[in-house]
Amino acid sequence: MSFLLPETGLLFWMLISFGIVFFILRKYGFPVITSMIDERKKFIDDALLNAKAANEKLASVEEQSRKILENANAEQVRILREAVAVRENIIKEAQEKAEVESGRIIAVAREQINQEKEEALRDIRAQVAELSISIAEKVIRKELADNKERDNYMNTLIDEAFSTDKSQE
């Protein structure tokens, strides 16, 4: 039966040594280990969550960039189309303006030419008149002797003058 009776001495030493072991391990041993394991567990969980969030973020960023690219493409097409329209517009306007300007310049030039022509004609007429007067003076001085011939000649001249006036009008 001595097996079933706890020895006082052994009980005493066992309680003391187990107590010491317990206090040392409680202070320096197990809490360090368990808290670190818990921390690592938390770290891994956090890392998994972060990775998931990062993946989601990445997906959304990709989506965004895709959208931005699409928008940019559309914008580019629109701008190009506008540019083409503007260019064509400008060219058309320039052409129209040039046509108007050239028409105007031509009209001015024509008027000037007409005026100059008029002036030249007036000069010529004046000179012709002077010449014809001087010629007439000379003819009169020469032909005064012969009245008859002079009358004929005068008539002829007047007729001619009339006919030239008529043809000119």
Partner 1 sequence: MKGVRYIFVLFLLLLSGYAGAAEKSSAPEKVDVKKIIFEHVKDTYEWHITTVGEKHVSISLPVILYSSRTGWELFSSSVFHEEDNYKGFYISYLGDNEGKIVELDENGAERRPLLDLSITKTVLSVFVNALLLIVIVLCTARWYRHHKPENGAPRGFVGIMEVLITMVVDDIIKPNVGKNYKKYTPYLLTAFFFIFLSNLMGLLPIFPGGANVTGNIAVTFALALCTFIAVNFFGNKEYYKEIFWPDVPSFLKVPVPMMPLIELFGVFVKPFALTIRLFANILAGHTVILAFVCIIFITMSVSTYIGTAMTFVSVVFTIFMNVLEFLVAFIQAFVFTMLSSVFIGLSQPEHHDSKH
Interaction between residue 162 and partner 1 (CB under 8 A): no
Angle among Cα 134, 140, 145 to the nearest 5 degrees reads 160
> Residues touching partner 1: how many (CB under 8 A)?
36
Interaction between residue 101 and partner 1 (CB under 8 A): no
User: Is 6 or 141 the residue whose CB approaches partner 1 more closely?
Assistant: 6
Rounded Cα gap, residues 10 and 18, in angstroms: 12
**Residue ranges in 29-48 that form contacts with partner 1 under rule CB under 8 A:** 29-34, 36-37, 39-40, 42-43
Interaction between residue 7 and partner 1 (CB under 8 A): yes
Whole-number Cα distances in Å, 82 to 67, 88, 108, 127, 159: 22, 10, 38, 66, 75
Cβ contacts of 143 within 8 Å, gap of 6 or more = 149, 150, 153
Binding site for partner 1 (CB under 8 A): 1-15, 17-18, 20-22, 24-26, 28-34, 36-37, 39-40, 42-43
